[in-house]
Amino acid sequence: MLEQPWDALIPAGGQRRSEMDRSGGQGAGGQGNGGHGTGSAVGFRPLYRQVYDTLLRRLADAVWQPGQILPSEGQLAAELGVSQGTVRKALDALTADSLLVRRQGRGTFVAEHDDKQSVFRFFKLRPDGGGTGAPLSRVLAITEAAASVDERDRLALVRAARVVRCERLRSLDGRACVLEAITVPAALFPGIHAMPLPNTLYSLYASRFGITIAMANERLKAVVLQAREAALLEVAPGVPALEIDRVALDLEERPVEWRLSLCLTDSVHYLSVLR
């Protein structure tokens, strides 16, 4: 299934009954998996990590759709030739990564991120008062063009790549407060420039293009609004704004969206929880 051409996953400890000798031989510590696809040295991963990768691949390939139920732990264990406990460890890890949802008595499901509570996973602006107003959006423009230098840089694109750009104005509790410039690779989102865009773009990415946003890196700065930006946000030029430079990554950690947001923060703040 992986790491080895054999049908079953190779164990890393435990009394597995396979007759195959140690082949590569080595086991390996635990946490030092690295990732990023290099790992030419030993390339060993614990069994549950291999199960994790196997299931992650199926999620990335949309074998299971969002909201759909997965086979039970026992069925997956039998299919992959590992114990139920090992499958559980992989499923728990995928749940911790917000890719699965497990419900006692019902089953394990592919996470849906268009729920009301999930809107706020990647939207960290909150009204100062503590109200829970969900953001509303108005699309100003959507165009297709050749990628700029910045866009190629953020999205790891080649020179000739084309992108789709979208400008949106978002409001919270009825007040315009965010101006967003969104860029996605045209190749990954064919036809998106002609679609009606929902408020939560990431659910559209998942349902129409099979792209799941798993993570985002945001870089925040305080800036001063330019004339055009200020006009769109209906404030005076020179007002300070919070600039959020976000690159969103899919399940395979490829950058698939660049979003530059300008936020008015007089009655709104960006919430960050450090652990």
Kindly list the residues in this chain that would bind DNA in the complex (CB under 7 A): 11-16, 26-31, 46-49, 70, 72-75, 82-86, 88-89, 91-92, 102-108
Contact 262, 225 (CB under 8 A): yes
Smallest distance from the beta carbon of 49 to a second copy, in angstroms?
A: 15
Smallest distance from the beta carbon of 39 to DNA, in angstroms?
A: 14
Instruction: Say which entry of a second copy, DNA, none residue 28 contacts (CB below 5 to 8 A, set by partner kind).
Output: DNA
Q: Which two tokens stand for residue 263?
A: 């936020």
Smallest distance from the beta carbon of 174 to a second copy, in angstroms?
A: 20
- For tokens 């946003």, the residue is 213
Question: For residue 43, what are the contacts with CB-CB under 8 A and spacing of at least 6?
Answer: 3
Instruction: Say which entry of a second copy, DNA, none residue 203 contacts (CB below 5 to 8 A, set by partner kind).
Output: none
Q: Identify which of residues 74 and 238 has a Cβ nearer to DNA in the complex.
A: 74
Instruction: Say which entry of DNA, a second copy, none residue 75 contacts (CB below 5 to 8 A, set by partner kind).
Output: DNA
Report which DSSP code applies to 117: G
Q: Identify which of residues 195 and 223 has a Cβ nearer to a second copy in the complex.
A: 223
Q: Does 117 bind a second copy (CB under 8 A)?
A: no
Q: How many CB atoms lie within 10 A of CB 148?
A: 13
Beta strands in 74-161 (DSSP E): 100-103, 107-110, 125-127, 136-146
Q: Does 269 bind a second copy (CB under 8 A)?
A: yes
> Residues 97-116 vs a second copy: string with x where CB under 8 A?
xx-----x------------
Distance CA 87, CA 55 (A): 10
Instruction: Say which entry of a second copy, DNA, none residue 224 contacts (CB below 5 to 8 A, set by partner kind).
Output: a second copy
Selected from 139, 223, 227, 236, the binder of a second copy by CB under 8 A is 223
Smallest distance from the beta carbon of 97 to a second copy, in angstroms?
A: 7
Q: Does 121 bind a second copy (CB under 8 A)?
A: yes
Smallest distance from the beta carbon of 216 to a second copy, in angstroms?
A: 4
Which H/E stretch holds residue 204?
helix 201-209
CA 108 vs CA 7, 61, 69, 214: distances in Å: 25, 18, 6, 18
Q: How many CB atoms lie within 10 A of CB 137?
A: 17
Distance CA 178, CA 184 (A): 19
Q: Identify which of residues 186 and 213 has a Cβ nearer to a second copy in the complex.
A: 213
Distance CA 152, CA 161 (A): 8
- For tokens 């700029």, the residue is 148
Which positions lie near a second copy, rule CB under 8 A?
29-30, 97-98, 104, 121-122, 124, 214-224, 240-243, 245, 263, 265-266, 269-275
